[in-house]
Amino acid sequence: VPCSYFACVRKRSRPAEGDVPRPEDVKFEDVRLYLVERKMGRSRRSFLTRLARSKGFIVEDVLSDEVTHVVSEDSHASSLWKWLKERSPKNLQNVNVLDISWFTDSMREGRPVVVETRHLIQ
């Protein structure tokens, strides 16, 4: 069955360079976020990444030793920590492992908010 023009056209993805903030757009150089996609899904992670970058945050695409804040949504602490340890960043003990509420609060304020106990995934 031949497809019509509209049925066969695929949506083009945005160029990757449009998602990466220029150095002058970065406001919080000492905060490097990593958003855990495991439970949130790719499209939501992509949306949240663009939102954070638009507010001057650095969002890393890969979990590395540069990351200072790991943000997760709907994760059980034990499975999240196991997953993080399998990826074994050297400085994991120095990383803030946070619930999405920290991210939401930070986006609302337009800056990284102070990490409170309620934000931590322990």
pLDDT of 11 reads: 46
The model carries a pTM of: 0.78
106 CB-near residues (< 8 Å, 6+ apart): 57, 112, 113
Q: How far apart are CA 44 and CA 101, in angstroms?
A: 15
Q: Residues 40, 71: contact at Cβ < 8 Å?
A: no
Write the CATH number of the domain with boundaries 28-119: 3.40.50.10190
Domain boundaries defined on the chain: 28-119
Nearest to 100 by CA among 8, 7, 36, 10: 36
pLDDT of 16 reads: 47
Per residue of the chain (122 residues), what is the pLDDT tens digit?
Answer: 555 554 555 444 444 444 555 666 899 999 999 999 887 889 999 999 999 999 999 999 999 889 999 999 977 889 898 888 888 667 788 899 999 999 999 999 999 999 999 999 98
